[in-house]
Structure 1
Amino acid sequence: MTDRSSVGEARRIAMVAAQSLGFSESRRSDIGIVATEAANNIILHARSGEFLICPSQSKDGAYLDLLALDHGPGIHNIPRALEDGFSTVGTAGQGLGAIQRLSDDFSLYSLPDRGTVFWSRFRETASLDPRPYGAVSIPMKGESACGDAFLTLPSKSRSLYMVVDGLGHGQYAAEAAEEAVSTVRAYAEESVTEIITRTHDALKKTRGAAMTVVSVDHERQVLTCSGVGNISSSILGGTVSRNMVTQNGTLGAVLPHIHEYSYPVDDRSMLLMCSDGITSKYTVSNYPGLQSRHPQLITGVLYRDFSRHRDDATVLLAPLGGDRG
């Protein structure tokens, strides 16, 4: 987002995404309004930023996330800013109120002089209640295909999470990532070691990938992981972050002796996984109150502040306990 022409482009792409997910004409209109207002806020208040359009389709239905990210002056009084008629730049002051009213879910995070992140979600089915994980997966600038991918298979007893980074970027990297997702899904009931081995074999026909697979036993409160290549993963709990071990190698090319690592978790724990398009210096504890927010909002903040902007970038955040609002 660099000028007012970017606003129209953001609206157009958001509405195309909404149509591809099967949203009705009236909901597409709502999405267009929210995209316009959120994108305008970037130009008016921060002059530049990013607007992310994240469609999601599953067997339970579809939803669309819009994220507006900037490093502007921030919002000093959020409750006041959400009131209709309030404006600091001479507009009608209807933007934030309209975004909140039209969205099925809405939240924002802002710190003075550190910028603002808006998150807005639209559900194709009103009753759809997607699992409260957060995910941003964005291709490298100039590429239409993303060489990163992720998979979430949550359940009450055992949940499985995966992030993969196809070697390089572009279409061939995306093909490797897609093959990894298909393989992990097919062998999701196996151990993480077996999943890694199966994926290595499947990726021999591709350029290869880095990948980490995490299995969470919710009854025993134990997380087990295995990873090959530079996917960084950590367990967040309060102000403490514990990094998980990964091994050197490339699935499909060089497979080391595979190890599984187990870690204790509890209902307050969150799993954070990032491809190498996100700098390893990421942290959540430096953002007051952020960990209590919806995971999709948190991933937007982390992408904004720690993306390298020279590679595909993926952030996946999954609470390992109860639902989060």
Structure 2
Amino acid sequence: MVPMRATDPATEFDDDGIWFRVESGSAASAVRRAAERLATQLELGKQRTASLSIVAAELTSNLVKHATEGSLLVRPVRSGTTAGVELVAIDSGPGMADLVGSSRDGHSTTGTWGVGIGAITRQASWYDAHSVPDRGTVVAVQVWPGLPPGPAWAAGVTRPLTGEQISGDGFAIRVEEGRHQVLVCDGLGHGPLAATATQAARQAFLTAPAVAPAALVEALHRALGHTRGAALAVAELDVEAGVLRYAGLGNIAGTLLGAEARRGLVSLPGIAGHQRRQVREYNYPYAAGDTLVMHSDGVNDRWRPDDYPGLFGRTPVLAAATVLRDAGVRRDDACVLVARLP
């Protein structure tokens, strides 16, 4: 697990959020204050901010009591013009064989998270979790000012290189004129200049016309000319045709997980913004319920879906956070995006 902040952040939140290492009770106040500050920025409201504080306290307490290498992400989540706060807690601890049973009030034994999960579910607008014995637990919680939006079809998680405060990797998700499209980007190098390249790619992606992935990659290549450049890939889920369309430049890994097969997706050599011999789009048939996983080279490709029973049937953020936990490397920025194919 990567080193993460254990003190209050001094900067405003961006949508990637802030990670905290949770090794002792002293981290609880830092996480709670950060969550409350974000709630204030998003105008969550007094009552929901109080609920968020309880959720943050319970998550950090459980990480301290029962987890190994516990860490927690605090970030905004958005749906249209509404915003909420998401907390993602991950650990490499003993895990739970019976997550449902361990979530009931009054149930607490060594190696389980116990009564805290019951309090979390009561205060949260939305909650999901996945746990595997001897591998650890991932819990995702959202607190919204009103009714939460429906389940997200795609989600990503990033974290910076050891010693950096900002990640040069990133992702973006959009639905434009019926096109379900996602981007994963790895700014060349790391630090602020890499983050600038990735932010330029995100902005260009989110504001581009509704065109196919290859045309989007061409547009991103032109938009990144003033930056140090990036590896990037764009995927589109064509729901009517049952086809995943994919185009990429550089070493962004793409994997399509089906019921019986795992297929790697093709990206071509190049650096968006600087070196581009060609951009080609590849089509892959998919079935409803298949899963797309994309990640930067800060995540190794040795993770195996079979190691996580039921994970890829859960919400995308749980899968993304789990892959990042187990396959992310310490010496580079990292980003994982997971999309559920409708």
TM-score (norm 2): 0.87
Q: Which residue of 2 aligns with 1:124?
A: 145
Per the alignment, residue 15 of structure 2 pairs with none
Alpha-carbon shift at residue 264 of structure 1 (Å):
0.7
In structure 2, the partner of 1:141 is 162
Shift of 1:131: 2.8
The structure-2 alpha-carbon separation of the partners of 1:220 and 1:93, relative to structure 1 and needing over 3 Å to count, comes to: closer
Alpha carbons of 1:179 and 1:16: their partners in 2 closer, same or farther (altered >3 Å)? same
Alpha-carbon separation, structure 2, partners of 1:252 and 1:153 = 22
1:37/1:95 contact within 8 Å kept: yes
Once the two structures are superposed, the pairs formed by residues 1-325 of structure 1 within 5 Å of their partners are 1-88=22-109, 94-129=115-150, 131-154=152-175, 157-321=178-342
Cα distance, 1:21–1:215 mapped onto 2, change above 3 Å: same
Which amino acid is 1:194 matched to? A
Q: List structure 1 segments (4+ residues) > 6 angstroms apart after TM superposition.
A: none
CA distance in structure 2 between the aligned counterparts of 1:161 and 1:189, rounded to whole angstroms:
12
Q: Give the superposition deviation at 1:93.
A: 5.4
How far the C-alpha of 1:259 sits from its partner, in A, is: 1.4
Question: How much does 1:232 deviate?
Answer: 0.6
Distance 1:37 1:269 in 2: 34
Aligned-residue RMSD, C-alpha: 2.2
* C-alpha separation in 2, matches of 1:82 and 1:57: 27
- 1:37 maps to a residue whose letter is E
CA displacement 1:285-309 (0-9 Å, x = unmatched): 3211212211112212111111113
Change over 3 Å in CA distance of 1:14–1:311 after alignment to 2: farther
Q: Is the 8 A contact 1:71 1:116 kept in 2?
A: yes
Structure 1: any 5+ residue segments left out of the alignment? none
| CA distance in 2 between partners of 1:315 and 1:188 (Å) | 25
CA contact (8 A) 1:249 1:255 kept: yes
Amino acid at match of 2:73: L
Cα distance, 1:59 vs. partner?
2.8
Cα displacement string for residues 103-139 of structure 1 (whole angstroms, at most 9, x for unaligned residues): 1111221222221111211223315335332221222
Read off the aligned partner of 2:57 and give its amino acid letter. Answer: T
Unaligned runs of 5+ in 2: 1-21
- Counterpart of 1:21, as a letter, is L
3-state SS in 2 of match to 1:10: helix
Match of 2:255, as an amino acid?
A: S
| Aligned mates of 1:273, 1:92 — CA distance in 2 | 30
How many Å separate the matches in 2 of 1:96 and 1:127?
19
C-alpha spacing 1:92/1:311, structure 2 compared with 1 (3 Å): closer
